[in-house]
Structure 1
């Protein structure tokens, strides 16, 4: 388990910092995609299947209902983080970085939506919840307590991944990651989280595009 974590972490860091050094501004989505490839390579090498990450068959209606519940839980976590950050600590509101360039720009909106459903919804849920949480939980011996600890552990790098959003943004996304992590510990499946994640990002992107949320 530890070897798998180190391999995937090395891939992510090398690609992220390598592309940044080369002046490529969208290195993180590429790093997430290649890290997912590394995850599947590790699974194949160790004889594990996709179901080990939580990609199990479910009825579509059950996926949708669970996704709605996960999204509500995540929004509650995000709202809590925003209030704590802005009112509790006096931090500025969440920044949107490159996302703010999509205001009124349909092609850019479509491009970010594509990223939202691939490297963000699918890729991040696979890496942080299905892979990292599951491996950390196993390292702590399994069980509910280990699952909660693993949910906290994976939420920290998930929040740091969104550093471009500022301190409030990192707190918000970290708490969303914790909410998704706890949901994964309870459900042991990823599809509802992927749908919830993609839907939340889609709503947010459309709000920024329409000028409802200031860039």
Structure 2
């Protein structure tokens, strides 16, 4: 591939990544529809760019993947809750701001609605964009610099969570690093989606039972 073609490819990937990321902040769609739209955009742009969706790594799950997923969920949740979150709260001298989720407490209809929304928007939407699509485009931009790819994707993942405060941003960046490492290791976006969904399910369930201070 000649230099001119390579530069055009890098520029296209950069524009696609930046354009889809910018859509997160559009004023017309709200949670969870923003990431539902982003998922559709990712599928469309990937198909147009690659003539295939194979690069997004929607692979079949095997039976032993269940144990892997559960192990990842438990270990990530433990590290986040007992090490990363307390350290971030202590460093910034304030807990992450999860007040947006307090309205779920004791409200069963809202709880199940948020669960559905979280699986659509966060588990599926965020993983398809911040891992599958971002990794595909970043590889074209930075090459096989996998550590840099994980770092950049984690930064992109953390930025839309600024509303959670500095501590929340650090915790989200941690999750971004971990999810990136998982995707790099297993190269199966379904594993990422399910692990992410389980983590968010635990969070929403704690919010329902009025235990958000557990994360503080």
Following superposition of structure 1 onto structure 2, how do residues 52-67 of structure 1 map, counting pairs within 5 Å?
Answer: 52-59=55-62, 61-67=63-69
Q: What residue number does 1:179 align with?
A: 178
Candidates 71, 76, 79, aligned match of 2:73: 71
Q: What residue number does 1:110 align with?
A: 112
C-alpha distance in structure 2 between counterparts of 1:140 and 1:16, whole Å: 25
Q: What residue number does 1:139 align with?
A: 141
Following superposition, the deviation at residue 118 of structure 1 comes to 1.0
Call closer, same or farther: CA 1:214–1:29 in 2, change over 3 Å: same
Q: Which moved more, 1:128-137 or 1:170-179?
A: 128-137
Following superposition, the deviation at residue 83 of structure 1 comes to 2.7
Q: Where in structure 1 are there 5+ consecutive unaligned residues?
A: none
The TM-score, its normalising length taken from structure 2, stands at 0.84
Following superposition, the deviation at residue 14 of structure 1 comes to 4.4
The TM-score, its normalising length taken from structure 1, stands at 0.85
Following superposition, the deviation at residue 15 of structure 1 comes to 5.9
Q: What residue number does 2:19 align with?
A: 10
Q: Which moved more, 1:76-85 or 1:196-205?
A: 76-85
Q: What residue number does 1:210 align with?
A: 209
Q: What residue number does 1:167 align with?
A: 166
Candidates 128, 131, 137, aligned match of 1:129: 131
C-alpha distance in structure 2 between counterparts of 1:5 and 1:109, whole Å: 37
Question: Is the partner of 2:58 in helix, strand or coil?
Answer: coil
Q: Where in structure 2 are there 5+ consecutive unaligned residues?
A: 1-9
**RMSD of aligned residue pairs (Cα, Å):** 2.2
Q: What residue number does 1:148 align with?
A: 147
Following superposition, the deviation at residue 73 of structure 1 comes to 4.5
Q: Structure 1 stretches (4+) deviating beyond 4 angstroms?
A: none
